[in-house]
Amino acid sequence: MKELEARIQSEGHVLGEDILKVDSFLNHQIDPNLMQAMGNEFARLFESQGVTKIITVEASGIAPAVMAGLALDVPVVFARKSKSRILSDEAFTADVYSYTKQTTNQIRIEKRFLSASDRVLIIDDFLANGQALLGLKALADEAGASIVGAGIVIEKAFQPGRKAANEAGLNNIQSLARIAAFEDGQVIFVDEEK
């Protein structure tokens, strides 16, 4: 998505080897118009899939997921994250390890909001190591729901997240921006590769 790539180029900050900060429009400050354009693009990419529900994880996934839900006219459920493991008969839960923060969080969705008849689209802001995506997939699997695919805002294609998701059986992954590498603090997109 050219508009998103342009914003990453103009406003993103590359930190170290593998961190991209895009907190001026995606995960601290949010540009609502860009979010809506991204939501519309996710809807276009998955419109033939019979999506009945979108799931994401708080907090940065919420804005793009809600805009996709608006465009597809389906409810959105955001998984709650907590540092403590809470056992409950009423929730699906999964553990998600964050490589950035080096902590494990539990994510949870109340059982009454996901069912075996759902056709689930997973939305998230980043795909890097794939831990959040695999956690969300686990919640949908626990519910017996069908997963139609995943829509990602920014994929760091040089990290193993897509491969891990594919190996877990999640194949239809659509990323609005795919980053091949960071070179000298610059972002190189996959479709710019020679």
Contact segment (CB under 8 A) with a second copy among 4-12, 69-77, 154-162, 168-176 equals 69-77
Q: What distance lies between CA 79 and its chain's CA centroid?
A: 12
130 is in an annotated binding site: yes
Q: Is 58 in the site for a second copy (CB under 8 A)?
A: yes
Shortest reach from residue 71's CB to a second copy, in Å: 8
Q: Is 47 in the site for a second copy (CB under 8 A)?
A: no
User: Which CB sits closer to a second copy, 23 or 95?
Assistant: 23
Nearest one of 83, 50, 63 to 22, comparing CA atoms: 63
Q: Is 29 in the site for a second copy (CB under 8 A)?
A: yes
Name the helix (H) or strand (E) containing 19: strand 19-21
Report residue 183: phi and psi, to 5°.
Answer: -125, 115
105 is in an annotated binding site: no
| Cα–Cα distance for residue pair 151/156, rounded to 1 Å | 14
Q: Is 36 in the site for a second copy (CB under 8 A)?
A: yes
Q: Is 122 in the site for a second copy (CB under 8 A)?
A: no
Task: By CB under 8 A, name the one of 1, 70, 138, 168 that touches a second copy.
Answer: 70
DSSP alpha helix (H) spans, 47-160: 62-72, 131-143
Contact 105, 95 (CB under 8 A): yes
81 is in an annotated binding site: no
Give the contacts of 59 (CB within 8 A, at least 6 positions apart): 27
Q: Is 22 in the site for a second copy (CB under 8 A)?
A: no
Degrees to nearest 5, angle at CA 134 with 163 and 118:
115
Q: Is 92 in the site for a second copy (CB under 8 A)?
A: no
Q: Which residues bind a second copy (CB under 8 A)?
A: 23-25, 28-33, 35-36, 58-59, 62-63, 66-67, 69-70, 73-78, 80, 83, 109-110, 112-113
